[in-house]
Chain A
Amino acid sequence: MSDSTTVTPDPAPAAGSGDHPSRMPSRTRRRRRAGRIGQVHPLVALLWLAPALALILGVVLYPAIKLFDASRGEYSITGLRKGDAGWDNYVNVLQHPDLGTVLRNTVVWVVAVVAITIVLSLALAQFLVKSFPGRRFVRWAVIIPWAASLVITSQLFVLLYDYNYGIINHVLLSLHVIGTPIDFLGDDSWTMFSMVVVGVFVSLPFTIFVFIAGLGAIPDDVMEAATVDGASPWQRYWNITLPLMRPALMIATVLNVIYVFNSFPIIYTLNDRNPGYAHDTTITFMYKLAFKSQEHDVGMSAAAGIFNVLLILVVVGIYLKIINWREETSR
């Protein structure tokens, strides 16, 4: 479960927008052949859609139905289904004493990681589009945190953060920045910060590359025109680069929100020493409900899973709505 919910960002969806122009010519050709505009025989259409439909039914719909089914069941600690629970599991999730903490953590986690990632990536992408000796090497280096498994990265940070042997504490102590080591993962006031750092670290590569692509798509003549008109670098950035980066920013934000929201290994690994739910997000909360907590209840966890999906859909929906609204009002 952990692996698939937190796949590292794949650029394919972002590239999807580029498919439209290439599809256009073939469609016009077919139109001409069919005689009527925009129509093929429904069976032919179905044939072409079959693989995609099968995939959606098998990989998305079927498990979703199963999940819903599980959320309505009453389960023993062993996993045995004992009967139907109606909406009890949902009620139990909503009445869970730690739900407030978990939701607050989720908001802090998603907002902090996405916001810091976007700001840092904008700066780093700007740097990486400039040509300088060794640029290719630096670009490759940036990909590494993306290529490494999240569990491995998280485990690595556990070692870096360690109270007794961690290199971060070692360096800070040697530089006399601190007098006693910091318990990055065990001290409640540090734990979320430490996790956000890792979250940003692994989200940077994808975001940077989206922004590099976005910067590359800005026509040079627009920039030249602005320079000729005497715009300062800051004006050029604010009035030309950023507005033209809008699609890239939007893609990066929406995808990052989803990935970060669904991120399991980072929080699970860095937080495994801490009892209770003090630093869990809704995703690790869901896992702990099923396997680690005293509830140990698959049904309740499935109900929490349904809430998770609804939550992320609502968040993305609201975000897109806001973007639309801004676009409309700016005209």
Chain B
Amino acid sequence: MRSTKKSVVVAGLAIAGLALGACGGGTGAGTAPGGTAGATGEEAKTIKLVAAEYSKDHTKAFWDAFAKTYNEKTGYTLEVQVVSWDNIDQQSSTMIQNNQAPDILNLNAYASYAKDGLLYDSDAVLPAVAKDDILDTFVKYGTYQGKFYGFPDLSSARAFFYNKTIFKQAGITAPPKTWAELEADAQKITALGGGKVGYALPLGPEEAQGEFSMWMFNNGGDWKTDGNWVINSDKNVQTLDFLKKLADEKVTQNNPARTNRADAFDLFKSGAAGMVVGFSPLAADLDKDKKVDYGVAPFPTMDGSESKTLGVTDYLMAFKKPGNEKAVKAFYNLYYTPDQVNTFIKAEGFLPVTESGVKYFSNEKALTVYLNTLPNAKLTPTDDPAWDKVKLAVQQNLGGAMNGSPKATLDGLQRTAESVG
């Protein structure tokens, strides 16, 4: 009896200790110098790329082929590590804590890294030809304090997707141009019954900022104007009020505050939702399934004025490490050749980031609707390091407005934004 108890205590302590240890593995900080390039100032012959996984089929295949070409053309070696989007933030953070940052990191944010002084700017590692080729919009949003750090790898632009079959059933002849029309259409679709959802509205934590940006921009609102946060502007409160109205009228899916984007896409793919904000990868999925007869249109605006779209781009940022400059420059030199960058973008089903890319894709009929909007797309304020935290606050709090007060929610986000940046 006694020994049993003792061993239980020991087991308990051991397991608690192991749990502690395991946590340490994930979050423990390192101070030891290290890293693949070495700290001696010698030229690095091998550099490491940590890339985000856009798709199981294409991402790894592309980067492996790229590494081979890179090695043949430049003599440098590229180590490729592909990480899923769920993990990449955590992994990159751990690498940096342990002083083992990769040479090149593919992520959806860069400004905080630039602020921490971890990155090379374009003068150091981006060939001039490549810089000139990158679309002005992306150069603008990739620039932090006058220097260009956020080199885009690919982009996407949102558009309005509607289910033609459902529209026909509900007697709707054309996609809505204004929010009032959208609301009326959503009501008609919901009235069809049978679990039909008028508008699939994802305000869950996965990407609440994306959905809200789309609505915000099409009501003439923005996150920042002239360098100041304006999250709780009258326009934005009006926008969120309208979304709450849609939810209250039950013309959206159940519980929009707790619906992630992937779930909203699933509703549209299964033919249950009449309208959703989508982008080219959704179109690719729909084309593959051949289940839903859908149309793509510009997103309706509040008052019927010209539609704006949300552009999103991810980045390939270069970490300052002793001796890796030349190899990193050679990497960008190769990546931004039309052959490479456009092959990658085409395989993943996204949109180009370069002027030559826009030309390259111009004969793709399916992409025309996005390509036309791309040069004028609005991005979220990715050039402000504060946005990296504001974005998280939006993801965690925006949905709260559906059961509370939109004004109070936006006031709270405004306070957060002002306090972090």
Is B97 an interface residue, CB under 8 A from the partner? yes
**Interchain CB contact under 8 A, B254 and A181:** yes
Is A185 an interface residue, CB under 8 A from the partner? yes
Q: For the complex, what is the distance from the CA of A146 to the CA of B341, rounded to whole Å? A: 46
Contacts of B400 in A (CB 8 A): 275-276
Tell which of B23, B31, B205, B397 has the most Cβ of chain A within 10 Å.
B23
Is B102 an interface residue, CB under 8 A from the partner? no
**Interchain CB contact under 8 A, A296 and B389:** yes
Q: For the complex, what is the distance from the CA of A293 to the CA of B393, rounded to whole Å? A: 7
**Interchain CB contact under 8 A, A258 and B205:** no
Give residues 76-115 of A contacting B (CB, 8 Å): 76-82
Contacts of A291 in B (CB 8 A): 89-90, 93
Contacts of B17 in A (CB 8 A): 56, 60, 64
Is A73 an interface residue, CB under 8 A from the partner? yes
Is B192 an interface residue, CB under 8 A from the partner? no
Using C-beta atoms within 8 Å of the partner chain, give the interface range for chain B. 35 or more
Q: For the complex, what is the distance from the CA of A59 to the CA of B392, rounded to whole Å? A: 33
Selected interface stretch from B8-16, B220-228, B230-238: B8-16
Contacts A185-B258, A250-B8, A258-B15; is A294 near B23 (CB within 8 Å)?
A: no
**Interchain CB contact under 8 A, B254 and A63:** no
Q: How far is the CB of A195 from chain B (nearest CB, A)?
A: 14
**Interchain CB contact under 8 A, A273 and B396:** no
Selected interface stretch from B64-72, B110-118, B284-292: B110-118
Is A229 an interface residue, CB under 8 A from the partner? no
Contacts of A78 in B (CB 8 A): 92-93, 96, 112-113, 116, 118
Contacts of A290 in B (CB 8 A): 26-27, 90, 93
Selected interface stretch from B36-44, B152-160, B259-267: B259-267
Is A148 an interface residue, CB under 8 A from the partner? no
**Interchain CB contact under 8 A, B29 and A69:** yes
Q: How many residues of A contact B (CB 8 A)?
A: 67
**Interchain CB contact under 8 A, B205 and A272:** yes
Is A164 an interface residue, CB under 8 A from the partner? yes
Residue of B nearest to A66 (CB): B28
Q: For the complex, what is the distance from the CA of A308 to the CA of B26, rounded to whole Å? A: 15
Q: How far is the CB of B385 from chain A (nearest CB, A)?
A: 8
Residue of B nearest to A15 (CB): B7
**Interchain CB contact under 8 A, A13 and B90:** no
Is B210 an interface residue, CB under 8 A from the partner? no
Contacts of A1 in B (CB 8 A): 22-23, 25-27
Contacts of A4 in B (CB 8 A): 18-19, 22, 25
Contacts A183-B254, A294-B389; is A77 near B11 (CB within 8 Å)?
A: no
**Interchain CB contact under 8 A, A13 and B15:** yes
Is B52 an interface residue, CB under 8 A from the partner? no
Contacts of B257 in A (CB 8 A): 186, 275
Is B333 an interface residue, CB under 8 A from the partner? no
Contacts of B340 in A (CB 8 A): none
**Interchain CB contact under 8 A, A294 and B24:** no
Q: How far is the CB of A30 from chain B (nearest CB, A)?
A: 19
Contacts of B351 in A (CB 8 A): none
Contacts A79-B94, A316-B16; is A59 near B8 (CB within 8 Å)?
A: no
Is B30 an interface residue, CB under 8 A from the partner? yes
**Interchain CB contact under 8 A, B4 and A298:** no
Contacts of A13 in B (CB 8 A): 7-8, 10-11, 14-15
Q: A4-B22, A64-B24, A255-B11 are in contact. List 6 more A-B contacts (CB 8 A).
A: A186-B255, A255-B12, A273-B263, A275-B257, A305-B24, A323-B5
List chain A positions with a Cβ less than 8 A from chain B. 1, 4-5, 13-14, 16-17, 20, 56, 59-60, 62-64, 66-67, 69-70, 73, 75-82, 163-165, 181, 183, 185-187, 247, 250-251, 254-255, 258-259, 262, 272-276, 286, 290-294, 296, 298, 301-302, 305, 308-309, 312-313, 316, 320, 323-324
Q: Which 7 A-B pairs have the closest CB atoms?
A: A63-B24, A66-B28, A13-B11, A1-B26, A79-B93, A186-B258, A4-B22
Q: Name 23 interchain pairs, CB-CB below 8 A, sorted by A.
A: A60-B14, A70-B28, A76-B116, A78-B113, A78-B116, A79-B92, A79-B94, A80-B96, A183-B258, A273-B263, A274-B204, A275-B205, A275-B208, A275-B395, A276-B397, A294-B420, A298-B93, A301-B27, A302-B23, A308-B19, A313-B16, A316-B12, A320-B9
